[in-house]
Chain A
Amino acid sequence: MKKSVVLRGSVIAFSAALLVSAGSAAMAEEEKDAHGIGVEVEIAPLAGPGALAMTVDGDSTTLVEGESTDLERVFSGTLPKVTVTDTRAPEDVPEDSFWYVVGTASNFHDEQKKSTIDASSLGWTPRLVEGEGEGTPFVEVGGDVSPSEPGLVDQELLYLAESGEANAGGGVFSASADLDLVVPAAVPAGTYSSTITLSLFE
């Protein structure tokens, strides 16, 4: 399912929220089913001709356990592809502006809402997509944000582009990110979920 938001005018944010689920290691094998918990998404009218719009290729993702140690448990996953499409006429693009997508995560809660994992435990490594902005001078990827250093607690840049050049350069640019969750080994087992809110600004 593809969620889509549209940005009309500048300096107005539209967001897509994305559910991130993390399973406990004790039940790792059972984590294969993704929890299709509905997620709230603000959906503006679909992009007609002449809009700057963001789409997210899916509304949830699942983190699976990787190389945990006795001290900490490590989960990883992938942010669904985020695409910004600019179909505005060149003269409608504000001069010397750039658009950018930032993301922030909420705390993880287990199903019973009894245990919480702080959002700072989640980090990401943004990357651009080949053919949709990778290697292009006017598209910049966000820096890596490591779990706890400081983690996705505040808005962090996923990627950005110089509006004018991006508009002229085809107008379709995508990014994804590797997601990493690191929690102490003492965290109670359970199925936790968080929401990453992605926002497009110009």
Chain B
Amino acid sequence: MLIPERSPQHVAASPKRTASRRTIAGGVLITLAAGSFAATALPAAADEAAPLPDAYLTSDSAWQYSDNGTDPSGDGSLSWTTADADGWAEAAGPFGSKRGEADLGGGFVADTLLQYTLEGSTDTVPTYHFRTDVEITEEDLQQINALQGSITYDDAIRVYVNGTLVAGFADDRVDGAENQNLTYAGNSAGSPVTSTVRIPADALVAGENEIAVALYQDRETSSDIFFDWTSLTPVSKNADQNAQITDLVMGVGATEAERNLAWYSDIDVPQTAQVAKAVDVVDGVFPDTATTFETTAGGDTTSGEYFRDATLSGLEEDTAYAYRVGSDEAGWSDTETFRTQQFDGDFDFLFFGDPQVGASGNLANDEAGWIETMNIATQTYPDAEMLFSAGDQVNTASSEAEYTSFLAPSQMTEIPLVATNGNHDVGSKAYEQHFNLPNEDLEAGAAGSPSASGGDYWFIYKDVLFINLNSNSRDYDSHNAFMEKVVAEQGDKAKWKVVAFHHSIYSAASHATDGDIIERRNTMPATISELGIDMVLMGHDHHYTRSFLINGGELADPDEQAAAGEVVADEGDVLYVTANSASGSKYYNLNTGTDLWWSSVRNQEKVRNYSAIEVTDESLTVRTLRSEANGATSPVNSVVDEVVLSKADVAQDLDVSVDARTRAVAGKQYVSVSVTNNEDAPVEVVVDTAYGSKSFAEVQPGDTASVSINSREGSIPAGEVTVTATGQSGDEQATTSKTAAYAAAG
């Protein structure tokens, strides 16, 4: 029989390597010699349940494996998952190869080198096969709900237990393969990634359980292959069913009064989010007055865990809050805190270029650089209200280790994050499982592949309408339709309009001349100018560039001086900003062979940057600073560039706010409309409804004109009112029309 590792006092006497049948005998002998297992082996001891083993598999467990590119079943069937693995080699992991070498970089080193290419070919071996057995006693099986394993792999993997498929990662292509035992699969990910596999007790039998693993290479030319089953541990029925909550991140909400939370848990149990004013939470105890928010989404993750989304809404301004996620039954996350600020007026937010943690090959370094930039930025701008990432949060879309590093800064649970979808964030659903995006339209900017992640989304923060595009999709019609719809419906509610997407169209380093970037540059600016977008925030090219003002893809003003400290935008003029790396994981050299006519300021010192963006009624100021010194002359927080963007004094829309609702008076439904004049001068107001109109000759600044118009009906359908305001804006007479909707009544 197989004796797996037991509780610590026994481990010393047990061999660590326990998996294959041939090592079992040795295990028994040694164990018996130590004597400590004698009691547990006796039936008499069954009254008192023996402690469950610590682990059934570790990295050191032995596997039988086939790495020569043959079909072990011979007929494409799954018979190999339960047949004797006669003639296969046997060794312990990690298994791997990078073009025939054991060191894959990034800390991944194979103990057992796998055959890299097929015999007599330069093509890689498509599929590798592994087998081992796990012995579970009847007694132990009765005590467990499941076995939980952790597997690190590259590129794709499938796990079978006793002939049944129990887990698959990045394995979409296997189903369509001619021979599932000899096929390529994966998502062209970079470094190996780690996933969790859960084997339910009903997939297990008392005695010997046959574990089979198919490991897939991504393509004929893929450089590396890796497999390391690092742990397989019992999940006891008696153990507390405590959820391990990880990856908690506070995202921006639909407005400044909301926060969108997302988190992961290791078990699939009901959870909620709870929020209370911080003063009411004493020693981590939430008061009865805490508000509970149900989850708005949830499900399996690509890494074998479970994700949950929840939105904290109805927040009050200028208030400190505490929150947690989880449940009374399965336990709560740590208590996190955040504070809201004034819901109107000026504000700052922080803008970060491609963190792309893991890109340097040294994840720990990238994480440290990212944390350092985040700390410097938030210490320098302690009132910053948003953390805006230009995309490529991680280097490998499916890498949970990289997500852990990206989410490591403590600010991630305190200040709302805006995650942009970069090219390194697709190829896995992990992006949309990790981030809870407001007003997301999965149809707009949705890439076609099944592993595409996310679409376009928007939100309003104070006086800025933000539109975030998934520029991985080059379906420009769908992006344009999305922007047009959002601007038409929301544009009047904000003074500024800021668009963000990952793939900079006006950058000045290596990507500036990529074919796909040129295509975006030729296509996207027209609509952005037409819609009156003020500024576009971008990344992708790992250096800093600020554009001249651009209108419809051309210089707005050929006389604009390079590096001008202040730029004044006429209608349709747009400032494009490309951020440098915030983590220091990767930099691109400036492009020297191209006419970079759009670039007013460009910088590449290969030190970490961040930008502070100050929003006021009059201007947007983009100040880009070093979060890493470049010699004594350029210390931390020295300024790389600063530009103040304001709007030319054109006839603006009159600032009037409109509210419509219904009320019943004397048995009839009335449509009530309130119009507030936020201008400095009186305005004339005309209110039109389906049931009549009303004129106000002069609504004074700050005043509200309200009218209730009789429908003369007992019940009315939902409808819309139109308000036309006329008055002085600057030196000119302006007329502005606005609509407001009301619900059906009666």
Task: Say whether B663 faces chain A, with CB atoms less than 8 Å apart.
Answer: yes
Q: B700 → chain A, closest Cβ, in Å?
A: 6
Q: Is the CB of A135 within 8 A of B705?
A: yes
| B706: A residues at CB distance < 8 A | 136-141
| A141: B residues at CB distance < 8 A | 694, 705-708
| Closest chain A residue to B670, Cβ basis | A157
Q: A60 → chain B, closest Cβ, in Å?
A: 25
Inter-chain CA distance A154–B707, complex, in Å, is: 18
Inter-chain CA distance A128–B707, complex, in Å, is: 10
Inter-chain CA distance A166–B1, complex, in Å, is: 86
Q: B242 → chain A, closest Cβ, in Å?
A: 45
Within 8 A of B (CB), among A143-165: 143-145, 150, 154-157, 160
| B663: A residues at CB distance < 8 A | 98
Q: Is the interface of A mostly helix, strand, loop or mixed?
A: strand
| B703: A residues at CB distance < 8 A | 134-136
Inter-chain CA distance A33–B710, complex, in Å, is: 35
Q: Is the CB of B704 within 8 A of A136?
A: yes
Q: Is the CB of A135 within 8 A of B712?
A: no
| Closest chain B residue to A104, Cβ basis | B666
Interface residues on B, range: 20 to 34
Q: Is the CB of B666 within 8 A of A102?
A: yes
Within 8 A of A (CB), among B378-396: none
Task: Say whether B665 faces chain A, with CB atoms less than 8 Å apart.
Answer: yes
Q: Is the CB of B665 within 8 A of A144?
A: no
Q: Is the interface of B mostly helix, strand, loop or mixed?
A: strand
Q: Is the CB of A135 within 8 A of B699?
A: yes
| A135: B residues at CB distance < 8 A | 699-700, 703-705
Q: Is the CB of B670 within 8 A of A144?
A: no
Q: Is the CB of A140 within 8 A of B672?
A: yes
Task: Say whether A192 faces chain B, with CB atoms less than 8 Å apart.
Answer: no
Inter-chain CA distance A143–B673, complex, in Å, is: 10
| Closest chain A residue to B674, Cβ basis | A137
Task: Say whether A142 faces chain B, with CB atoms less than 8 Å apart.
Answer: yes
Q: A154 → chain B, closest Cβ, in Å?
A: 7
Task: Say whether B36 faces chain A, with CB atoms less than 8 Å apart.
Answer: no
Q: Is the CB of A142 within 8 A of B708?
A: yes
Q: B680 → chain A, closest Cβ, in Å?
A: 15
| Closest chain B residue to A137, Cβ basis | B704
Inter-chain CA distance A162–B691, complex, in Å, is: 22
Q: Is the CB of B693 within 8 A of A144?
A: yes
Q: Is the CB of B708 within 8 A of A157?
A: yes
Inter-chain CA distance A150–B708, complex, in Å, is: 16
| B450: A residues at CB distance < 8 A | none
| B691: A residues at CB distance < 8 A | 143
Q: A137 contacts which of B665, B670, B676, B710 (Cβ < 8 Å)?
A: B676
Q: B707 → chain A, closest Cβ, in Å?
A: 5
Q: Could you list 23 examples of A-B contacts with CB < 8 Å? A: A98-B663, A102-B665, A135-B700, A136-B704, A137-B676, A137-B704, A140-B707, A140-B708, A141-B694, A142-B708, A142-B709, A142-B710, A143-B691, A143-B692, A143-B693, A143-B709, A143-B710, A150-B712, A157-B666, A157-B708, A157-B710, A160-B708, A201-B666
